Amino acid sequence: MKSSGIIAAAAILMLPSLGVAADQSAAPKAAPAVVSPAAKGKAVANDRNKGNCLACHMMDDGEFPGNFGPPLSQMKERYPDRAVLRKQIWDATVKNPTSIMPPFGKHGIMSESELDQLLDYLYTL
């Protein structure tokens, strides 16, 4: 008998929380946030397993940038032809066989869509 009293007490204590849960499920859900391709590209640029651009380049608001590569700024002015910049990131050794920049596309470090998102971001710098 004592255990049934404990169960009943626990059920009574849980009732308010069950009501709250029911109210929350009835509440309208917020629309998912829309993330721009440039914002996704910034995430790729900062991802150590993808772009890891800060390892070699100074850019945007990045902390502790490297100085092996040129600063990533004024990218639209420096690369008005997007295809030229894309080829450089895809495989920098085509233009400079001794480049230390990893061939991000050629070696599959970035997917085609990640590379395009990265370009979208770089063109905001």
In this structure, are residues 121 and 89 in contact, taking their beta carbons and an 8 Å threshold? Answer: no
Q: How many helices (H) and strands (E) does the chain have?
A: 5, 0
Range of the domain at 103: 37-122
Percentage of the chain with pLDDT > 70?
A: 77
In a domain, 68, yes or no: yes
The CATH number that applies at residue 103 is 1.10.760.10
Question: Is 93 in contact with 99 (CB distance < 8 Å)?
Answer: yes
Q: In this predicted model, which residue has the larger pLDDT, 33 or 55?
A: 55
Is 48 inside a domain boundary?
Answer: yes
Helix (H, G, I), strand (E, B) or coil at 110: coil
Band (pLDDT 50/70/90 cuts) for residue 66 is confident
* pTM, full prediction: 0.70
Q: How far apart are CA 63 and CA 79, in angstroms?
A: 24
Radius of gyration of the chain (CA): 25
For residues 90 and 103, the answer to whether their CB atoms sit within 8 Å is: yes
Domain total in the chain: 1
Condensed to tens digits (0 to 9), the pLDDT of residues 67-84 reads 888 999 999 999 999 999
Instruction: List the alpha helices (DSSP H) in 27-94.
Output: 37-46, 75-78, 82-90
Assigned domain for 98 exists:
yes
pLDDT above 60 (res 11): no
